Amino acid sequence: MAAALAFAGVQATSQIIGGFLQADMVRRQAEIQAGIAEFNAQLSEYDAWKTEAYGSTLVASSQNQIDQVRATSKVYAASKGIKAEGSLAEINAQNELNSTLNKIDIDNRVTEQAMGYRRQASQTRLNSRLNSIGAATQATSLQVGSIIQAGGTMASSYIRSQEPAKIKQTTPSGYENKYSNPKTYSNGIQSWDITFDPK
């Protein structure tokens, strides 16, 4: 009986240790996944920054082109003796308007694309947090489950060790087995005549 309980204790201990090791593996895996998710989120933020920087470059380039057109038209007008009023002023005003609209368009497209990258970074971090919560729950349930399983193993072993002492081998009244006249045959096999005596 003591040996069976000792073996059950070893079994229960290994169940608990196994549950805690599995929980630790789940937690570590969640930490690694969180690190990867954070790296991916930072890459998305970097892409947003690059997009905005590229947009600023496009706006500056557009402004530079407008400035060149304005300067060229002034030089052309001066070489031809045209005054800067009238048609030339209207052309310059139209060029300024086109430049402003172009900058607004570039800024809108760049902002929208950068916001997409930022949303992606936020979503990656949110998913990582949800995965961490799920992993923590799973790890806790593994630990609790291993403790419950170990308790069941010990209880089952204890109950089994107590049963032989409590249960008596009895035959219902009136059905006692009576063995009589054992016979031994030449090949060494014994047999008994069995009769049932109902009372």
| pLDDT tens-digit readout, 80-135 | 777 666 677 777 788 888 888 888 998 899 999 999 999 999 999 999 999 999 99
What's the burial of 175, exposed, middle or buried (CB within 10 Å: 0-12/13-18/19+)?
A: exposed
Secondary element (H or E) of residue 57: helix 2-80
The Cα 197–Cα 113 span in angstroms is 97
Q: Report the percent of the chain where pLDDT is more than 90.
A: 39
Residue carrying structure tokens 């800067």 = 84
Prediction pTM value: 0.61
Q: Classify residue 188 by its DSSP letter.
A: S
